[in-house]
């Protein structure tokens, strides 16, 4: 994302947060002023109201606003007593933050390869990865499509493990079986500005219907206090959602079902216009599955870097999620083999995507991809 050098006449940016802002600027600015004048900036009425509204949106009993999505994951682990000596099963293909949060609390992330058909965690391989030290499985709803929750729930029930959702891509995901955040024992959301529900800075939430776990996260996020300046029976840190961010998020949550419809339409438009390009893989859908409200619209191409360069020459900015995959980061250096995850990651191209994108801009991206595809075939 390089907004400073982007010339609006020249093409399509990967992510245009200024355009996203303008979609609801007046309501958001009213919220900013309301909080600024209120004199209450941390853990006040806006956070409380947002927590209730977001829990209800997710179909869960509790939501606890925290400092980021990474913190939300780490606080779930801490609240569940997961730490040194424990193992947590995570997909090999995900954002580095999923792995970092596990390691940050002293536990060991155990990577599981991707199912090639879905691009999501392979539930059978996850079952094979369970060992004596395993405490939890993290299901990542990668790019906005629900992980195989029924299979993973069978697995975690059989072994008495926690099922945790990393729902940082899935604020608008709701596939008939229930919204993201309603499937696991707890879910972590990020409100990083580029996410589907984004703040004007960092933020996150833990969502759970387990009252004890939610209460434990409340204590951990603020000095171990069980009430404001009450006793602290255990330790805690500081990871709180600001009143300003909560007020912004309340406005944007009220528009989220509209955004979901927009994201689905944009995804359908991409799919429709790109379905005939030979070398290009489209985001997977099961037979009869509706277009999810993607967080990223990720296509694959064997000559990823050449295609990205050719698109950029035509003014179309793209990004890569996520290469290298987390187990290959120096911090983890895991020796395991993850061939499906590595194949997908090495071919992944994230196209411009977000509710701010216009149908015309999608057509510009698709025309550029078509030109690149035709040029490649005429060379052969």
Ligand X SMILES: *Cc1c(COP(=O)(O)O)cnc(C)c1O
Main-chain phi, psi angles of 227, to 5 degrees? -145, 170
With b for 16 or more beta-carbon neighbours within 10 A and e for fewer, the 146-162 pattern comes to: bbbbebbbebbeeeebb
Main-chain phi, psi angles of 45, to 5 degrees? -65, -35
Pairing of strands 162-166, 134-140: parallel
CB of 101 to ligand X, least distance (A): 7
Please tell me the distance from the alpha carbon of residue 47 to that of residue 244, in angstroms, as a whole number: 9
Q: Is 68 in the site for ligand X (CB under 6 A)?
A: yes
Q: Is 192 in the site for ligand X (CB under 6 A)?
A: yes
Closest residue by Cα to residue 151 from 190, 188, 189, 112: 112
Both tokens of 65, joined, read 């606003």
Specify the stretch interacting with ligand X by CB under 6 A; choose among 64-72, 148-156, 324-332, 345-353.
Answer: 64-72
CB of 55 to ligand X, least distance (A): 19
Residue among 71 and 342 whose Cβ is closer to ligand X = 71
Please tell me the distance from the alpha carbon of residue 56 to that of residue 52, in angstroms, as a whole number: 6
Q: Is 166 in the site for ligand X (CB under 6 A)?
A: yes
Closest residue by Cα to residue 174 from 270, 57, 20, 269: 57
User: Of all residues in this chain, which one has the CB nearest to ligand X in the complex?
Assistant: 69
User: Mask 97-126, x = binds ligand X (CB under 6 A)?
Assistant: xx----------------------------
User: Of residues 111, 148, 204, 326, which one binds ligand X by CB under 6 A?
Assistant: 204
CB of 100 to ligand X, least distance (A): 8
Closest residue by Cα to residue 145 from 359, 327, 320, 290: 290
User: Mask 290-329, x = binds ligand X (CB under 6 A)?
Assistant: ----------------------------------------
Q: Is 95 in the site for ligand X (CB under 6 A)?
A: yes
Residue among 187 and 274 whose Cβ is closer to ligand X = 187
Q: Which long-range contacts (CB under 8 A, 24 or more apart) does 150-154 make?
A: 150/177, 151/123, 152/121, 152/123, 152/126, 153/183
CB of 204 to ligand X, least distance (A): 5
CB of 168 to ligand X, least distance (A): 3
Residue among 67 and 352 whose Cβ is closer to ligand X = 67
CB of 91 to ligand X, least distance (A): 9
Both tokens of 374, joined, read 């035709």
With b for 16 or more beta-carbon neighbours within 10 A and e for fewer, the 3-42 pattern comes to: eeebeeeebbbbbbbebbeebbeebbeebeeebeeeeeee
Q: Which of residues 132-161 bind ligand X (CB under 6 A)?
A: 140
User: Of residues 169, 183, 240, 301, which one binds ligand X by CB under 6 A?
Assistant: 169
Both tokens of 301, joined, read 């191409």
Residue among 240 and 269 whose Cβ is closer to ligand X = 240
Residue among 141 and 355 whose Cβ is closer to ligand X = 141
User: Of residues 134, 156, 173, 190, which one binds ligand X by CB under 6 A?
Assistant: 190
Specify the stretch interacting with ligand X by CB under 6 A; choose among 7-15, 45-53, 165-173, 261-269.
Answer: 165-173
Pairing of strands 297-301, 348-351: antiparallel
Q: What are the residues binding ligand X (CB under 6 A)? A: 68-70, 94-95, 97-98, 140, 166, 168-169, 190, 192, 202, 204
């Amino acid at each position: 994302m390089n907004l400073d050098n982007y010339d609006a006449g020249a093409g399509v940016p990967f992510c245009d947060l200024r355009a996203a802002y303008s979609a609801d600027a007046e309501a958001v600015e009213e919220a900013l002023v309301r909080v600024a004048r209120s004199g209450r900036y941390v853990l006040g009425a806006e956070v409380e109201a947002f927590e209730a509204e977001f829990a209800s949106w997710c179909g869960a009993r509790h939501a606890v606003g925290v400092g980021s999505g990474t913190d939300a994951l780490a606080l779930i682990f801490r609240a569940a007593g997961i730490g040194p000596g424990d193992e947590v099963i995570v997909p090999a293909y995900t954002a580095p933050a999923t792995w970092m949060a596990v390691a940050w609390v002293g536990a060991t992330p155990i990577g599981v390869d991707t199912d090639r058909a879905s691009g999501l965690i392979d539930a059978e391989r996850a079952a094979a990865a369970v060992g004596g030290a395993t405490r939890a499985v993290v299901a990542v709803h990668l790019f906005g499509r629900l992980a195989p929750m029924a299979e993973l729930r069978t697995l975690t029930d059989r072994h008495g493990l926690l099922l945790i959702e990393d729902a940082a891509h899935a604020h608008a995901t709701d596939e008939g079986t229930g919204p993201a955040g309603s499937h696991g024992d707890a879910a972590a959301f990020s409100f990083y500005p580029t996410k589907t529900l984004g703040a004007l800075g960092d933020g996150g939430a833990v969502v759970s219907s387990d009252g004890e776990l939610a209460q434990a996260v409340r204590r951990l996020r603020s000095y171990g206090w069980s009430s404001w300046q009450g006793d602290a029976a255990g330790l805690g840190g500081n990871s709180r959602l600001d009143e300003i961010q909560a007020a912004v998020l309340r406005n944007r949550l009220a528009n989220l079902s509209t955004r979901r419809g927009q994201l689905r339409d944009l995804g359908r438009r991409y799919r429709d216009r790109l379905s005939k390009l030979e070398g290009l893989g489209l985001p997977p859908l099961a037979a009869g599955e509706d277009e999810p409200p993607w967080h990223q619209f990720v296509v694959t191409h064997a000559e990823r870097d050449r295609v990205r360069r050719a698109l950029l020459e035509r003014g179309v900015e793209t990004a890569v999620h996520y290469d290298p995959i987390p187990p290959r980061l120096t911090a983890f250096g895991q020796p395991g083999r993850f061939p499906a995850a590595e194949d997908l990651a090495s071919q992944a191209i994230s196209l411009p995507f977000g509710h701010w994108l216009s149908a015309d801009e999608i057509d510009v991206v698709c025309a550029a991809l078509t030109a690149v595809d035709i040029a490649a075939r005429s060379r052969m």
